[in-house]
Amino acid sequence: MPRQRISREELFALVWEKPIQDVATELGVSDVAIGKMCARLQVPKPPRGYWARVRSGQTPRRLPLPAFREEIDRIRRAAVRLNAAALLSKLQLQFYRAALSDLGDQGVDVDGADTRGGRLPNLSPDVAAQILLLIQNRRHYWVKEGKVTTSWGSSAQISVANLVGKLLPLARPQVLVFESEGKRSWQAAADPVVLVRLTACLQERIAALVRIVRHQKLQHVVVPLMAADYAWSARHVYSPESQLFLDSFLCVSATELWVECTSRAWREDYPPVRIATSRMSLQAIMPIDYMPVREVPLFPVVSQTTVAPYREHLRALLEAERVHEMMSHAAYAIEPEVPDERLDIADRIWFGKKKPFHSAREAWRRLEEELERWDVELEAERSTLAQSILGIEVGDIVTNERDGRLLRLSVTGTTLYASDEHVTFIVNGTRFRKDGTLGKLQDAIRLRFENKTMSTRKQGDEA
Compute the distance between CA of residue 150 and CA of residue 158 in angstroms, rounded to an integer.
13
Does one domain contain both 17 and 138?
Answer: no
Q: Which residues contact 445 (CB under 8 A, 6 or more apart)?
A: 298, 398, 400, 402, 407, 409, 426, 427, 429
- Helix, strand, coil percent content, the chain, rounded in steps of 5: 50, 20, 30
Domain end (from 44, 66, 88): 66
Contact 100, 167 (CB under 8 A): no
Residue 377 half-sphere exposure toward CB, CA atoms < 13 A: 10
Which of 50, 51, 64, 65 has its CA nearest to residue 7? 65
Compute the distance between CA of residue 395 and CA of residue 403 in angstroms, rounded to an integer.
25
Residue 350 falls inside a structural domain:
no
Residue 153 falls inside a structural domain:
yes
Does one domain contain both 121 and 200?
Answer: no
Burial class (CB in 10 A: 0-12, 13-18, 19+), 45: middle
pLDDT single digits (tens) 24-49: 888 888 888 888 888 888 888 888 88
Domain end (from 170, 189, 210): 170
Please state the rounded mean pLDDT for residues 251-267.
81
14 versus 205: which is more confidently predicted?
Answer: 14
Does one domain contain both 256 and 317?
Answer: no
Does one domain contain both 236 and 383?
Answer: no
Domain count, the chain: 4
Pairing of strands 405-418, 422-432: antiparallel
Q: Note the pLDDT of residue 198.
A: 80
Q: If you ran DSSP here, which 8-state letter would residue 397 be given?
A: E
Residue 41 falls inside a structural domain:
yes
Does one domain contain both 230 and 255?
Answer: yes
Residue 107 falls inside a structural domain:
yes
Compute the distance between CA of residue 389 and CA of residue 296 in angstroms, rounded to an integer.
13
Tell me which of 61-70, 187-196, 280-289, 408-417 is least confident.
Answer: 187-196
Does one domain contain both 143 and 197?
Answer: no
Total count of residues recorded for the chain: 463
Residue 74 falls inside a structural domain:
no
Residue 247 falls inside a structural domain:
yes
Residue 216 falls inside a structural domain:
yes
Domain end (from 136, 170, 204): 170
Q: Is the pLDDT of residue 152 over 60?
A: yes
Please state the rounded mean pLDDT for residues 75-103.
73
Does one domain contain both 316 and 440?
Answer: yes
Q: Letter for the amino acid at 389?
A: I
Does one domain contain both 379 and 429?
Answer: yes
Does one domain contain both 35 and 101?
Answer: no
Residue 364 falls inside a structural domain:
no
Compute the distance between CA of residue 263 and CA of residue 272 in angstroms, rounded to an integer.
5
Does one domain contain both 319 and 391?
Answer: yes
Segments forming the whole domain that contains residue 16: 8-66
CA angle 249, 251, 253 (to 5 degrees): 170
Give start and end residues of each alpha helix (H) in 117-223.
125-145, 154-167, 200-216
Does one domain contain both 62 and 90?
Answer: no
Pairing of strands 295-297, 397-402: parallel
Q: Which residues contact 199 (CB under 8 A, 6 or more apart)?
A: 173, 229
Q: Letter for the amino acid at 254?
A: A
227 versus 31: which is more confidently predicted?
Answer: 31
pLDDT band at 160 (very low <50, low <70, confident <90, very high): confident
Does one domain contain both 60 and 104?
Answer: no
The answer to whether the predicted template modeling score (pTM) of the entire model surpasses 0.85 is no
Residue 17 half-sphere exposure toward CB, CA atoms < 13 A: 17
Which of 295, 318, 315, 222 has its CA nearest to residue 261? 222
